[in-house]
Amino acid sequence: MHYELYVDEGTRYKWLFLLASKSESLANLHVSVERQHDYKLKTIMTDNAKEYMSKECNAYCSGIGIQQLYTNPYSPEENCVVEKSNYTVMNKVRCMLQACGMDNRYWGEALSYVVYTENRSPTKALGGKTPF
């Protein structure tokens, strides 16, 4: 099982998708953003992972009008908000599982809970407001 974490750099809102395969993530993001949050997804910045560079992904994005931007290879600092979020979220998941004495098989539920609480917690980047 995989996960994809997307972060809106303006609001710091996080979208989490637990996936059986990485190829299904972008369509899930598009549907979630436009239906649940009533936003129009215009641009997506990703690393150079092959699931985002594929013909299917390019065709999907161009078909619905999403502009794709890519960071330079091997430069996570260009995507620092997402990289830091991944680091922080996974540290919280590991701590939560260990503190509760739970098996690692519950990492998906723990990850969902961490992202849920982070979306409802005040952040310094927004002047003490929540992303939600």
How far is residue 60's CA from residue 107's CA, in Å, rounded to a whole number?
30
How far is residue 118's CA from residue 126's CA, in Å, rounded to a whole number?
13
Q: Is residue 22 part of a domain?
A: yes
How far is residue 125's CA from residue 5's CA, in Å, rounded to a whole number?
19
How many domains, the chain? 1
CB 93, CB 112: distance < 8 Å:
no
Q: Is residue 131 part of a domain?
A: no
Q: Is residue 35 part of a domain?
A: yes
pTM of the entire predicted model: 0.74
How far is residue 107's CA from residue 110's CA, in Å, rounded to a whole number?
5
Q: What is the CATH number of the domain that holds 28?
A: 3.30.420.10
Q: Is residue 132 part of a domain?
A: no
Domain that holds residue 101: 2-126
- Mean pLDDT, consecutive 10-residue stretches, the chain (132 aa), reads 79 83 67 72 77 78 82 72 84 92 89 92 81 76
